[in-house]
Structure formats: C-alpha cells, structure tokens
Structure 1
Amino acid sequence: MNGLRVALTLATSGGGVGNHVRSLCAGLVGRGHRVVVVGPASTEERFGFTAAGARFAPLEVGGRPSPFADAAALVRLRGLLRGADVVHAHGVRAGALAALARPSAPLAATLHNAPPSGSGADALLFGLLERVLVRRADLVLGVSGDLVERMRARGARRTGRALVPAPAMASSGRDPAELRAELGVEPGRPLLVTVARLAGQKGLPVLLDAAGRWAARTPPPLVAVAGDGPLHGRLATRISAGSLPVRLLGRRTDVADLLAAADVFVLASVWEGQPLVIQEALRAGLPVVATDVGGVPDLVGDAALLVPYGDPAALADGVARILDDGALAARMRVRARAAAGALPVPGDDADQVLDLYAEVLSGSHPR
C-alpha cells in the first residue's frame, strides 16, 4: 500500500496525544505516505510535526468544546480533509469534529483519555461527543483496555487497542552520583523520581501525602518531580508548609539521566493509558510503584508494584517494601528490563495503523 494521503487531526494537547501524533507522522512519512496534521497552531509549535515530514494546517476552535460550537471551523476542516485517503482523529473532541465534517474518506479515531468523572456538564458533553464519533467512525482505537470496552459498549463498529511506543531516550552518560549530589541526595539516601505534568490527573496531592509518610524514614527519601503545569504553585506551597522531602524540578530535558540516578520510579496518577514515562522507567531498569489504573497493568505485567489510586498509605508502603528489601529491588530491576524488551518501539504504531487502514480501504471493514 503505497502513497496514501493521511490526515491526522487533534485538539489542544499537553503531551501524550501530540507525542503520539508526531510519532505517527515520522513513521508514516518514513514509509512513503503523505501526511497532513490538522490542529491548533500551539501543537505544531510544541511537537514539530513539520520537522517529522508532515504538512501542518492550523485549525482553531474557539470557546467551550462542543461539536456544534464553531461552524466556521467545521467548514474549514471539511476543506482540509478533502482529498485524504484516510482521516485519523486523536481524542474525542477531534474525532467528533472530524465526524461532523463528514469526510469522504474512512474515519479512524484513537482515544487517549478517560472520560470526566461524575455526571456534570463536562461528563454529559463528553458523552455527546462520543456518540457523535462512534456513529460515524469506521474504527475506534483506545490506548487502554477500559477505553476499548467503553467504545464497544457505545456501539463502535470496530475497536482495538492502539500501540503507543515511547521514543528512544538516551542518557547523556552523566555520572548518576554527580546528578544525585546536585539534587542534594547524600550517599545512602534514596532518590524517588516522578515524571508528570503538574495537573489533576497525575495524583500529585496523593504523592505529597505519601511523601509525608516517607519523611519519617531515616534517611528520608528525596522525591524529585520532573514536569511543569498549572498546579505548580499549589504544590510548592504545600511542600514548603509541610517541610516535605520533595523537589519540583520543572520541565527537564535530562529525564534519562534522572531515571539512571533514581532508586525507584513512582507514578500516582488517577488514570493513564500507556504512559511513556513508565516505558522509559522500565527501559532504565528501575523498580516501579504505580497506581493500578487504565492501561498501566497491561503495560507493566509483573514488573511493577501496583497500588490503588488515591491511597497514599498504599503508595508509601509499596515504595517502602522496595527500599527495605534489596532482593526485591533486584528482582524488580530484572523484571523491568524483561518487560522493556516486550514494549513497542517507534514505527510499530505506524505499522499497526497502516494494517488497519488497509482493512478499511479494502472494504473488509463495514462502514
């Protein structure tokens, strides 16, 4: 299957969605296909789709997310999708807008995030967007099993689990002891690392609750959090007020070095699909303690200690088990490296979607 014209659409993205779309751009272009990415200008600025070989077409949708909110955007989107062989939307909002634009090409969608909790306006709107999407889409992928099951229950024609490989991330070769000293980690003091956007989904208040428990240990582990986001001020205030052994490092370009220097990787998220940071931690051979949510269990298998989300005592105890049991820590490092060997690699995602596009275009996939 040569020379497909593929249109990838997305809405505003803070990380995972944009990284995945960029990975697909590189893989599809590298396999001889033409790709246009349609989304907010801010996504091109952050993720550099054109640098991956795609053409970028900006599409701004104003106001509150709604499939009916911006008629001008729908008209422009319809024109941008004209001539594509396949349209592949990423996220419920982008998928619903693509469905309403009614491209002549088959429509695929990948869902990257869990629905809002509760029964408020956001949850109702999300449900409406889902219904618009599944009514039109030929194929709906989810980044976790729970999303796939949700789409099946809503009547999606065909569903599957998307591959979301983490990009290769090489360490600079910096001496881990040097980095630990820079962070203020004395010899013999454990270093716990979290890589997360400072936002509600990442469960960082629970991480701080757990850090309060770790503070009673001798010596207390230092928790280093790499990432930025809207909760920075609130988290910093709480860390200072409680004298917690936590450092907010901001956005870092040396995550591989941080992982090489760490003793344990910790993830406290409320929900995740196939988190790139856990894939990176496994490749670094780190013991992992993570919340048992979304696609995390399928991703890690027996290579991590899983704890319930929202339970700081369980999170603290999971880390303590590793710190107190050198044999367990060693076994988890071996398991992490074994699990890393089974992870998808860049290019696997493009191969997967191309196989699925071929099924849709061949007519074996009822529309």
Structure 2
Amino acid sequence: MKIAHIVSHGGLNGVATTTATLIKEQVSAGHQVTLVHRPGAWIASQLAGAPVNMVPCRFSRHPAEMSAVGRQLDDAEIDVVHSHGSSANVYAMIFRCAVAAPTVMTAHSRQFQPTWRFAHQVIGLSDHTARYYTSRFLIAKSRIHSIPNMFDAQALPIATDAERLAARQKLGIAPETFLLGSVGVIGQRKRQSDMVQILDRLLQAGCDAELALIGPYSRSGPGTQTFERALADPAMRGRIHLLGERQDAADLVAGLEVYLCTSEQEEAPIAPLEAMARGVPVISTDVGNMADLLPESLIFKVADIAGMAAMALRFRGDPGLMRHQGLAGRAVVESLLAPSAILPRIEAVYDLALLEAGQKHRRIVAPRRQRNHPT
C-alpha cells in the first residue's frame, strides 16, 4: 500500500515518536511511505536513512503550498492519507474534499475541531478518547476505532543493575534512596504537585525517598502556583530534582524504583510505557489506556494521594513484589503493544477508509517481516 503520513508536529514528543515507529514498521512490512513534515522536524531526522519519500511543508494555509504538497502526493499515487496533528488534519481534510483521497486521522489529543468530520476513519488511542469524540457528535461510533500506540519494547531493553547504578550516579542520588520519578512537561495537566504530596507522605512514614522530574518547567505556566507552594515546603529541600528536558530520559528512568503518572488527562501516554519496558513498576491514575495495561491495584482516581502513596510504600517494603510488577509490566508492553499486534489493526482501518472512499485497494505484495515478541 502507498501511504502518506502528514505530521505537523515539529519537535520531539509522543506524536513524533509513535508515528516514527509506525512508519518504520510499515516500511518493514513492504508498504511505500511518504512523510509530509515540517522543515527540520525531529521525525524527519529519525527517518533520514529509511526508504521514505520526504515532503517538507510549512503547513501554511496558502493555496500554493497546499497544491504543491497535493501534487507530490498525486505523483506518488498515494492510496491512503494518514494525518497526525491539528494542522496536518486540515491538509488531510483539503485533500479529501479536493480529490476524494481516502483519509484516516489519529486523535492524539482531545480537540474540538470540525476536521474530524471529514475523515473517512479515525483512530482514537484509547476508549477514553473515542468516547470524548462520539459523545460530542464529532465522529460517528462506526468511524472511530480504539487502537493504542504501538511500542517496540525490543528497542528499549529491561534495565540491568549496572544501568540502574549508572543512572543514580548521573543524578547524584544514593543507591539506597527510594526514588520516585516521572517524565513530562511540568504543569497542571500532569499534576506533578500530587507527586510532591506523595513524596511527603513517604517521608512522614520514615521512608528515605526523593523525586526526580524529567521535563521542561515554566514557572509562568498554568497550575504552577500549586507546584511552587509544594516545592517551598522545607521538608522537600534537597529531595526534589528538576532535571529539565533530557535526551537521555529513558536512561535516567532506569534509576527509578517507581514511576508515577498522576495526570488528570492523557490519551495514550508514552513515558510510562518506556518505564514499563525498562522494568520499572508504574503507579497511575485512570487516564488514557493505562487501565488496560496495569492491574487494578496500580490504578487510582485522580488526586488519590493517599492511595498512590500507600502503594509506593508497599513496594518499598516488598522488593520482590516491586521486581515482579516491573517484569510483569514489561511483558504487557511486549505483548499487547507489539508492532506485530498493532499494525494489522491499523491496516484494517486503512481498508475501511478505502472502502468508504470507493477506491480500489492497491496492495504491495511483499513478505511481512517476522518478529519474535516474548510474552
């Protein structure tokens, strides 16, 4: 199949990383892929050596640029257009209206936009996402499909003891300290202030604990006042590490005892999956598809500080349980989110888009790469 991915995200984020993984798997499966991307986009740099047709685009609303991109897709004889991001969805909508291109859009977030109505099919990354769009009558239930992000755990092996120690040394944290942590933009949606309160409860229980937060932080951002007040607590001095945005985040996560996801809203977060792949147990709020990946004992309501702290203390008191859950989490990621499990589901959505658009499906006959995914 000839697939055009339109990605309007320029930087390194979950949309870019998961779409890059999808494209690599599609190329390996024998599909021909075109990538429409912003000049200098992170995703383009990651696919520079792959057999992917690159089409730079500034995503302006100028007819000349839209026409130029459209001509390149037409020259490539694209079967399906798959868009990722608000501006990308606008381009996909235009191509559907102009040339009846079979169109699939992935809902990476919850956005009330009219473009969703123009997609032949939509992929929602979790049941929460799908319900958001169907309940607001933006997308018919028959046209949205709950498919999580694929995750290639083979590219991120379980952390060894040496890697855990190296991460601690890089962070300047003693090996015996019970380390909580998370990755993501610090702000209101991810509720890192709740993590500080969880840390406080552990300290009150006599646990020598610290908190490592990886991700950008703007003191002028929404919800930062609560976080600033939590940081000002004298009991927190020297125990909270604001590490900023890091390219080695996956390496640093290996040094955690427990990964915390306290968000009030997510669709299909990637950072917890990286922790699970590394063998780090995850405690999470009931957001996105986390309840599909973790046992009920590790899923909590938003702002359940007491419950999440109690679970962390239970891990602290039972290293065997902590290790068991870390291994179990990796096994879940390897099986449920393996590219070999997710790619056929996405291809089935493409088939539906082609059928709805009334166009003949032109398949590329190529052997699918066989991969072993231990469970």
1:41 and 1:229 mapped to 2: Cα distance? Answer: 26
Structure 2 unmatched runs, 5+: 360-375
Shift of 1:161: 1.7
Equivalent pairs counted in the alignment come to: 342
Residue 105 (structure 1) aligned with residue 101 (structure 2)? yes
Residue-by-residue CA offset, 1:192-251 (whole Å, 9 max, x unaligned): 121223354322233233334334343431111223354699699667633522112233
288, 297, 301: which one aligns with 1:294: 288
Equivalent in the alignment of 1:10: 7
Equivalent in the alignment of 1:95: 89
Residue-by-residue CA offset, 1:261-313 (whole Å, 9 max, x unaligned): 322111112222222222222233332211111221123244x6112224444
* Bigger relative contact order (CA 8 A; separation at least 6): 2
Equivalent in the alignment of 1:332: 325
Q: Does the 8 A contact of 2:216 with 2:244 survive in 1? A: yes
Which amino acid in structure 2 is aligned with residue 49 of structure 1? L
Equivalent in the alignment of 2:362: none
Shift of 1:326: 4.9
**Relative to structure 1, is the Cα distance of residues 112 and 282 closer, same or farther in structure 2, using a 3 angstrom cutoff?**
same
126, 132, 139: which one aligns with 1:150: 132
**Relative to structure 1, is the Cα distance of residues 330 and 349 closer, same or farther in structure 2, using a 3 angstrom cutoff?**
closer
Shift of 1:182: 4.3
Shift of 1:11: 1.9
Residue-by-residue CA offset, 1:36-72 (whole Å, 9 max, x unaligned): 111322424675233333222222235xxxxxx6555
**Relative to structure 1, is the Cα distance of residues 46 and 251 closer, same or farther in structure 2, using a 3 angstrom cutoff?**
farther
Q: Does the 8 A contact of 2:101 with 2:357 survive in 1? A: no
1:113 and 1:61 mapped to 2: Cα distance? Answer: 19
Root-mean-square deviation (CA, aligned residues, Å) is: 3.3
**Relative to structure 1, is the Cα distance of residues 96 and 317 closer, same or farther in structure 2, using a 3 angstrom cutoff?**
farther
Which amino acid in structure 1 is aligned with residue 3 of structure 2? V
1:217-236 pair list within 5 angstroms:
217-228=205-216, 230=218
Which amino acid in structure 2 is aligned with residue 227 of structure 1? G
1:1-367 pair list within 5 angstroms:
4-12=1-9, 14-44=12-42, 48-61=46-59, 70-82=62-74, 83-101=77-95, 102=97, 103-115=99-111, 127=112, 129=113, 131-134=114-117, 136-153=118-135, 154=137, 155-156=139-140, 157-167=142-152, 168-170=155-157, 173=160, 174-228=162-216, 230=218, 241-243=232-234, 244=236, 245-302=239-296, 305-326=298-319, 328-329=321-322, 332-333=325-326, 335-361=328-354, 363=355
Residue-by-residue CA offset, 1:9-60 (whole Å, 9 max, x unaligned): 1222551111121112211222222211113224246752333332222222
1:44 and 1:181 mapped to 2: Cα distance? Answer: 29
**Relative to structure 1, is the Cα distance of residues 97 and 32 closer, same or farther in structure 2, using a 3 angstrom cutoff?**
same
1:138 and 1:338 mapped to 2: Cα distance? Answer: 34
2:264 and 2:328 mapped to 1: Cα distance? Answer: 24
**Relative to structure 1, is the Cα distance of residues 269 and 358 closer, same or farther in structure 2, using a 3 angstrom cutoff?**
same
SS at match of 1:17: helix
**Relative to structure 1, is the Cα distance of residues 9 and 170 closer, same or farther in structure 2, using a 3 angstrom cutoff?**
same
**Relative to structure 1, is the Cα distance of residues 240 and 47 closer, same or farther in structure 2, using a 3 angstrom cutoff?**
farther
**Relative to structure 1, is the Cα distance of residues 313 and 74 closer, same or farther in structure 2, using a 3 angstrom cutoff?**
farther
Q: Does the 8 A contact of 1:288 with 1:305 survive in 2? A: yes
Scaled by the length of structure 2, the TM-score of the pair is 0.77
Which amino acid in structure 1 is aligned with residue 47 of structure 2? F
SS at match of 1:262: coil
